[in-house]
Chain A
Amino acid sequence: MVSYAGVGSLLPRLGWMRMRRPPNPNPRSRWPTRTTTTTTRRRSRSFSSSSPLRAALDSPDVSLLADAARISLSPNEVREFEPKIMQVIDWFGQLQAVDLESIEPSLRANTEVDARTREDAPEAFDNREAIIAAVPSYEDPYIKVPRVLNKE
C-alpha cells in the first residue's frame, strides 16, 4: 500500500529517469543568468519537472547511467539491460497517473526519521582499529586509492 504522502516524495527520486531532459538546473549552473520567475511554494519544493502527470516516461540512456555509476558495460550488456530497466521504470511510472493536484507536497515519505538533533558534544569513536582494518588499502596514516586527478 502506498500512501499519497509517500507518492510525492518518491517522485523526486526518479529524477535520473529524466536524464535527457534537463532537471531543475543546479543553482550554480544557472549563474549568472538571472531567473526572475517567481516560483510558487509548491513548485519550488518539488523536484519533478514541469509536467508531473506525464503519462509515459522516457527510456533511459543506459550508457550514460553506467558512466554515472562508474561501471563499464559492453554494447551487448547495454542492449540487455535497457529493456530490464525500462520495465522497472514503467512499473514506477504507474505512479505518474496519480492525481496530486489536491495534495500538499511533502518533502519525504512519512518514514520514522528521528527528528531530534544532537548537541555539539564530542564523542570519539572507540573502535578505530576495526574501521581502519576494514579499509581495503591502507598505508599508515593514509587510505590509499588509485591515482585520481579531477574527473567530475
Chain B
Amino acid sequence: MALIVFRGGFRTNHLLLRRTFLFSARRDSSLLCTIQQHHQRSRYNVRAESLQATESKTSSKSIQMATKELVEKKTRGYEAIIGIETHVQLSTITKAFCSCPYTYGSQPNTTICPICMGLPGTLPVLNSKVVEFAVRLGLALNCELSVASKFDRKQYFYPDLPKGYQISQFDIPIARKGYVDVDLPVEFGGGHRRFGITRVHMEEDAGKLLHSESESYSQVDLNRAGVPLLEIVSEPDMRSGIEAAEYAAELQRLVRYLGVSNGNMQEGSLRCDVNVSVRPIGQLEFGTKVEIKNMNSFSAMNRAIDYEISRQIQLHNKGQVDQIVQETRLWDEGTQKTFTMRKKEGLADYRYFPEPDLPEVVLTKDFIDQIRQSLPELPEEKRRRYENLGLSMQDVLFLANDSSVADFFDATLENGADVKLAANWIMGDIAAYMKNEKLSINELKLTPQELSELIASIKNGTISGKIGKEILTELISKGGTVKQLIEEKDLVQIVDPAAIEALVDKVIAANPKQLQQYRAGKTKLQGFFAGQVMKESKGKANPVLLNKILAEKLNCPS
C-alpha cells in the first residue's frame, strides 16, 4: 500500500483536536456567548482591511447603522441562512503537484510544465508544504484531522482545467468539524459569534480564462493551473451580511497569522462563494438556496448578501416564492445588485473517483504535534488577551486585525509602555501615517522600543505631548532615537518656574498695548499671551505652569 507518511509514528483513527467542548446545540445557537454592548460608536470604522468601507469616514457610520436598521425592518418574520465556501490560495513557492514556481502577475503561460498542462504520461508529485499548511489551518480552525486522507478526481470539462479533472478531496477531507470565533465590529453593534466549519480540503486551482466580448474565441492562461488551494466549507450558521463578512475577514486574519496565504481578495487569493436562503421564522426546512459570487471585498460581501436576503424576502412577501430558484448570481458593484449568471439545472455530476496517481496522505501524531506547537497566537486568543488588558473592543479589534500591528503593539508593551497610551499612539498618529503613505507597520523606521521611550518621556514630563507628536513624525519617517532627538533639538520641556516666568515677563514687556487692553477687561487676550510665550519657548514650556504664571503676572501688576 502506497502511503505518504508525515514523519513516522503511530496512527490513531481520528485525533480530537478541539480546544474547548462544543455545546450540544451548536447548530441552533449561532448567537452565543456574550453579546457585548458597546456604547462608544463615536469612532468610525478603523479596521483597515476588515471592512473596506469606501465611503467617507463620517458618513459611512451612519450609512452602516441605517442599513442595519433597514435590514432588520425588512427581515421581520424571516430568517436568512448563509453558508460560505472559501478558497484560499496557498503561498507556497511551487505548485501543488509540480515544481513550477508561481508568482501572481507573471507573464501568461510562463510558469507551466507538462504536469500542470495535463500532458499525457505525466505524474503528479505532492508538495509537502501543502499538507503542512492544511494541517496548520485545520488546527487553527479547531478541526478534527483525518489521519489518513486521499485525493480524488473531480471531472468537469472546461478549458481552464487542462487535465479534464481537478485533483481534489471528496469523501475524506484532511480536516473537518471545526469552528471559528469572531467578534462583530463595534459599529455594527458588536457581539461574539461562533461559526461551524464543516470541512477543509486540499485541491488545485484552475487556469484563468479571458472571454472577449467581440471575438469568437477565449484566451487561456495556465500559470495558475495546479496552484494549491484549501477549500473551507462553513456550516450554514451565518444570519446576515455582516456575520458572513466578518467570518470571511476572520479567515483572512487566520491565514495571514498562520502564514499559509496572503489572503488577498483583489488578487483572488481568498475567494468566497456564498449560499443564501431565506425561510419564514419557525419553518424547519431550508428555503431554496442561491449562490453569490464575484465579491472582491468584505464590504461588498456584506452588501451583496443583505441585498440578496431582501430580494428573497420580497419574493416571499409577494407570494412569488417559486421565483427563488437554485442559481448562481453575480454581485454587480456598479448597480449594487445581484443578477443571474446561470441557473442550475440538476446537480452537476463530477464522477469523483480516487486519484490513482497519488498515494494516501497519512499524518503522524508527531507531525501534528510539531505543527500544533509551532502555531502562533491566533486572532481570537489575541483579542481575548487584549480585552483582559482593559482595552475597549474598538481598540482590541483594530490591534488584533493585523498580526504585524499586534506584534508591534506587544513589543511596545514589553518595553514597559502603558497599554492604553501605546494603543492610542498606534491607532492614532501611526495608523494615520501608515494609511497616508500606504506602508505597513514593519516598513516604518519607528521601533517599538522608541515608541515606548516616547510614551515614557511624555509621561514623566521630559517632553510635552505636542513635542511628542513632532518627534513621532520624525521617528516614523527618518528613524533615530527619542533621546537623541530631544538632545539634538533641545526639546526638553521647560518645567522650571523661574525660566517660564522669564519668558512670560519678556512677552508681557514686548506687548504693552495688549496688556493695557487685557487690564481694561479684555481677558480673552490671555490666550494670545499664552500662545506668544509658547512660541517664545519653542513649544517647550509646560502648559500648566505657563498658564498659572501668566495669569498671576497679568492680574497682579508688579
Contacts and interface: CB of A to CB of B under 8 A. Distances in A.
Nearest to A109: B356
A75 interface: no
A142 B2 contact: no
A141 B446 CA distance: 44
Which label, helix, strand, loop or mixed, suits the secondary structure of the A interface? Answer: loop
B351 A118 contact: no
B119 A31 contact: no
A101 interface: no
Contacts of A99: none
B216 interface: yes
A148 B99 contact: no
B158 A148 contact: yes
B110 A128 contact: yes
Given A34-B27, A145-B159, A150-B341, A25 B220 contact: no
A4 B324 CA distance: 49
A28 interface: yes
A147 B219 CA distance: 8
B128 A117 contact: yes
A131 B219 contact: no
A111 B2 CA distance: 7
Contacts of B157: 70, 151
Interface in B255-301: 275, 277, 286, 289
Nearest to B90: A120
A44 B218 contact: no
B220 A12 contact: no
A143 B109 contact: yes
Given A107-B150, A142-B219, A143-B159, 15 more contacts: A13-B354, A16-B351, A26-B347, A26-B350, A34-B27, A47-B353, A108-B2, A108-B354, A113-B359, A118-B125, A124-B99, A131-B119, A144-B218, A149-B211, A152-B342
Interface of A: 5, 9, 12-13, 15-16, 19, 23-29, 31-34, 41, 44-45, 47, 68, 70, 106-125, 128, 131-132, 134, 137, 139, 141-152
25 contacts: A13-B353, A15-B352, A26-B352, A27-B233, A28-B85, A28-B233, A31-B83, A31-B233, A32-B236, A117-B127, A120-B93, A120-B94, A121-B94, A122-B101, A123-B100, A125-B100, A131-B117, A139-B219, A142-B108, A143-B109, A147-B216, A148-B218, A150-B342, A151-B157, A152-B342
